[in-house]
Amino acid sequence: MTNQIRIAVLGASGYTGADAVRLALGHPQLEIAALGANAKAGSAMPDIWPHFTPYKLPMLQAAADIDFGDIDAVISCLPHGTSADLLAQIKGPRIIDLSADYRLRDAQTYADWYGRAHPVPDDLPDAVYGLTEFARHRLPDAELAACPGCYPTAALLALLPGIGDGIVSPRNISIMAMSGVTGAGRGAKEANLFAEVSEAAHPYGLAGHRHMPEIEQELSNAANTDVTVSFIPHLLPMNRGELETITVELAEGSSTADLRRCIGARYEDEPFVHLLPEGRAPATRMVRGSNHCVLNVFPDRVPGRAIIVAAIDNLVKGSAGQAIQNLNVMFGLSETAGLEQAPLFP
């Protein structure tokens, strides 16, 4: 086990942290050296995650008790706020952060949406927004990768090629998103009880969801103009999976076929992003448990508009999987290491 990259997973008592552990267990070059989870410090992993019973894993520790001098990479699955406060104090390991704390370039935007001044605004410029497919050139030198939110991951994979090529208009983008309930975390809330979620669907965050500024930031960069999007998430009665059905206006002279070709060309060589055959609708069941994203493009009935549909597993490509993918690129490993397992269906 020499030359293994030693990682610490912080927030290992949450769903995202647990999925990072699951993937790291199957990664040939990662060694799980420490697991952080303040409230559960002192517990064995199988006591809070019985599905890890067959696996040898470190005990959960308070982050303060972890010897980061011994760690090569930190995968931080802590909530926003907590994450930056802690990560700012860790020197040595390179960091893959799954919180929102390093995603926004502008500290004021962060303050507006997250209701607190950013604790380390000077660290923002060097953080790399880790949508791997669009950050590959910057990741090898990055000290910190800020993994995109789950919704932005699917939205940006769907929209960036067309926006970047000028085929999609930056105006009137409508993102209808649907997510399984693991996106809401393992906290014991009435709203996430089985009996409340099962046999039910509803929109939420209608007054403004925190993934919106992130989507707008990246689309604005790509479009070289300020982009405002409509983004409406819905909660669905399933564990994993995220579907986005996005309506866009096509640029003058561009067709749905152009957009489909553009997206197909952009991702032709990507290991994890796949344009489906014409006419086949992406479905969350196609990617469950895997790091894949499936995409397709359809004509809208309203002339001049097109529909892009994208599906990911919110816990994998939408968080823990993309974190590993970023780590792989940062450390010069094969980008697909530890992420090759096929989706679990049914």
Work out whether 300 is an interface residue with a copy of itself (CB under 8 A). yes
From candidates 7, 36, 49, 323, binder to a copy of itself by CB under 8 A: 49
147 is catalytic: no
Q: Determine the length of the chain.
A: 346
Q: Using CB under 8 A, which residues numbered 211 to 240 contact a copy of itself?
A: 212, 228-232, 234, 236-240
SS3 category, 294: strand
How far is the C-alpha of 67 from the C-alpha of 35, rounded, in Å? 11
Site size for a copy of itself (CB under 8 A):
92
Here the tokens at position 272 are 């994890």
Q: Using CB under 8 A, which residues numbered 126 to 155 contact a copy of itself?
A: none
Single out the segment in contact with a copy of itself by CB under 8 A; choices: 61-69, 84-92, 255-263, 271-279.
271-279
Work out whether 38 is an interface residue with a copy of itself (CB under 8 A). no
Work out whether 83 is an interface residue with a copy of itself (CB under 8 A). no
Work out whether 243 is an interface residue with a copy of itself (CB under 8 A). yes
**CB 100 within 8 Å of CB 76:** no
Work out whether 342 is an interface residue with a copy of itself (CB under 8 A). yes
Nearby residues of 312 by Cβ (< 8 Å), 6 or more positions away: 150, 153, 154, 157, 241, 242, 284, 287, 292, 293, 318
**181: nearest Cα among 325, 326, 315:** 315
Active-site residue, selected from the candidate residues 147, 150, 262, 293: 150
**CB 288 within 8 Å of CB 243:** no
From candidates 11, 289, 318, 321, binder to a copy of itself by CB under 8 A: 289
Single out the segment in contact with a copy of itself by CB under 8 A; choices: 35-43, 110-118, 126-134, 280-288.
280-288
Work out whether 162 is an interface residue with a copy of itself (CB under 8 A). no
> C-beta of 207: minimal distance to a copy of itself in Å?
7
Place of tokens 């970047």: 164
Work out whether 344 is an interface residue with a copy of itself (CB under 8 A). yes
Q: Using CB under 8 A, which residues numbered 186 to 205 contact a copy of itself?
A: 186, 188-190, 192-204
Work out whether 123 is an interface residue with a copy of itself (CB under 8 A). no
Residue 331, number of CB atoms within 10 A of its CB: 16
**CB 220 within 8 Å of CB 280:** no
> C-beta of 82: minimal distance to a copy of itself in Å?
19
Residue 308, number of CB atoms within 10 A of its CB: 28
Place of tokens 């049914």: 346
> C-beta of 45: minimal distance to a copy of itself in Å?
11
Half-sphere exposure of 96 (CA within 13 A, CB side): 32
Place of tokens 């001044």: 117
Work out whether 251 is an interface residue with a copy of itself (CB under 8 A). no
Nearer to a copy of itself, 89 or 172 (CB): 172
Q: What are the catalytic residues?
A: 150
